[in-house]
Amino acid sequence: MNFKKYLENKRNIIDKALDEYLPSEENSPSIIHKAMRYSVFGGGKRIRPILTLATAELFGKDTESVIKTACGIELIHTFSLIHDDLPSIDNDDFRRGKPSSHKVFGEAIAILAGDALLVSGFDLIIKNMEVKEIKKQSILKVIKETSFYIGTENMLGGQVEDISIKNAEDIKKENLINLYMKKTAALICLSIRSGAILSGANQRQLKALTKYGENIGLAFQIVDDMLDIMHDQRDAGKLNYANKFGMKESKNESERLIEEAKDSLKIFNSEAEILRNVADYLLTRKR
């Protein structure tokens, strides 16, 4: 199977699973389930759950054994996007070319839909217990890691730093990278580490995969910034690596990070080919 087909196939599996796990729009209270589904099925690329599945495959585990955790992380990602778009945070009227949650459902329901997705994300990770061959201890570890990687030392903390910066011009490169590590790379690391932990990876393997995750996570955010500029979504007040350091430097830096990410996979053989392909895909993606 070529890599394009691999991504397509995994996206279909993830979409089907999410549809099965999320409450139906008819279930009461209907409005919250509608809002959850509106954002979950709003055209996301499913990069994070694909990373969880691909990492499990590296250890010979099939999709079924980690799909609930993979989808749980996608729900948490969706929650962060809804809250990120809120008027009091980034104030974005559009997400993936469609009206953001608060524009469709109002601010109160958007906040609650985000909360509901966060809770449902944890619930799905816990439900991975239903898979017999997965050790209960590894699920507890993933729950602990989830709280860590989305908490105040990581994703949430990165978001706080982001909104606290008064002048985007003043930030130093190392501080911006540190912020991106928390705001974006942390959840990507969690996606990879979860797949590895549930599959029984050892410390050396986890360390290599974490390095891979940090580097693709940073590259992902820099590419995202370049795409924003290319689609003319330049916002002077917003932190943007490409805006600040230029397109050429951003291209060089993202390529360097992807090479470094692939380099940390050298302890694995051909079984890590998909993860190498994911790294390359993140550089060439158009959105």
* Smallest separation, CB 16 to ligand GRG (Å): 17
Establish if 285 lies at the interface with ligand GRG (CB under 6 A): no
Lay out the site mask for ligand GRG across 191-230 (x = CB under 6 A, - = otherwise): ------------------------------x--x------
Q: How far apart are CA 17 and CA 180, in angstroms?
A: 30
Lay out the site mask for ligand GRG across 53-92 (x = CB under 6 A, - = otherwise): ---------------------------xx-xx----x---
Tokens read off for 217: 């996570």
* Smallest separation, CB 159 to ligand GRG (Å): 4
The number of CA neighbours under 13 Å toward the Cβ of 99 is 9
Which residues does 252 contact at the CB level (< 8 Å), separation at least 6? none
Establish if 120 lies at the interface with ligand GRG (CB under 6 A): no
Q: How far apart are CA 59 and CA 49, in angstroms?
A: 16
The number of CA neighbours under 13 Å toward the Cβ of 10 is 29
The smaller minimum CB distance to ligand GRG, of residues 102 and 183, is found at 183
The smaller minimum CB distance to ligand GRG, of residues 61 and 95, is found at 95
Note whether 191 and 142 are within 8 A (CB).
no
User: 3-state DSSP: the chain helix, strand, coil percent, rounded to 5?
Assistant: 75, 0, 25
Q: How far apart are CA 265 and CA 1, in angstroms?
A: 21
* Smallest separation, CB 154 to ligand GRG (Å): 8
- Residue count at the site for ligand GRG (CB under 6 A)? 17
The smaller minimum CB distance to ligand GRG, of residues 221 and 240, is found at 221
Establish if 47 lies at the interface with ligand GRG (CB under 6 A): yes
Taking CB under 6 A as the binding criterion, the range among 39-47, 163-171, 190-198, 210-218 that sits at the site for ligand GRG is 39-47
Establish if 155 lies at the interface with ligand GRG (CB under 6 A): yes
DSSP letters, 217-250, are HHHHHHHHHHHHHHTT---TTS--HHHHH-HHHH
Residues that bind ligand GRG (CB under 6 A): 44-45, 47, 80-81, 83-84, 89, 96, 150, 155-156, 159, 183-184, 221, 224
